[in-house]
Structure 1
């Protein structure tokens, strides 16, 4: 809006500038904005250059190529961010369907309720004449489950917490023959009771019966192994 105030010897023009919403939200440091500014400056420079001593066009081409590369990089970053958001949403949908399902997770802990029989497996990379699953409670008491001589591969086990009198939190470990220096992976099966989505982002957290809270990526397998021969 422009207001004109006239006097005897003076004429004052007062201009009220308004800024559009698009101008306020425009990112002047974005690749598109910088590219537009460069084109404007380049056109002005070409129009006002000395016709007897013109600028080398190679420089303009080089700068245009650099801006095009910046735009391409910015577009790629935007695409990667969108893909990350899409993958997070897909993970949420996938993990939500796991509630009530049985999964196997890699873990060395057991939350026993004194009633449930838990099943799992141990992955042996080599044969062992003796395989023993040890469960240690918070007071240091140890309960051993002998699994006998086993070949390399997956060794199944069951933990009958009622028969063994197990109730509370336990740490699981595997004892092998002397000379076996590696630590076998322990997989424990349980029913997914709840799925939590961290407010800060990242992997979904599954609350599994007998296991507790486990990140989604710790799942070793989905579904329950069939007992049919």
Structure 2
């Protein structure tokens, strides 16, 4: 019986318990807890350096009001990177391939940036819906277009992350199946396919990190517009 390639994206369960809850809590267990000592081991030092550099790079274009979001944005970045990379391991489940989870992360954070903008500077927030110098005849059309683009932002965030990871997993599944099928028939072609699979796996590791960074970066840009 041949299983569908899309079965890997079904949320697994064990004894009636959804394992997505375990997959979401596991990344926090893997990270070492920082200590108050002056000298730490190499892993803690590397982790602290990465967090500091990423936070500094992320908050560079933001005003002082946006620096309050440093903790949640950095934590979200580490969370997404860990989920994406762990999902590339065999016999694992990637929660970020579920559109419901990605929208559950994108919609509240996007809505928080919009509410902050409407509360702190409503004139500037509403001013983004109409570019300066717009001809009078185009004003109603541009307001409708900008309003639609505003509400599409969380959908774009969730779909982008879901589509990239899903496409990568499907490609890896297809090429690995082709390599197994071609091995007894054409070993040379199977070896070439395995090489392509290895390169694709390296590409997927880069995509997993890049997509997590893009998700958080776009959120910071939305926050910058409303602060």
The TM-score normalised by the length of structure 1 is: 0.26
Q: Larger % of strand: which?
A: 1
Which structure has the bigger radius of gyration?
Answer: 1
The TM-score normalised by the length of structure 2 is: 0.26
Greater RCO (CA < 8 Å, at least 6 residues apart): 2
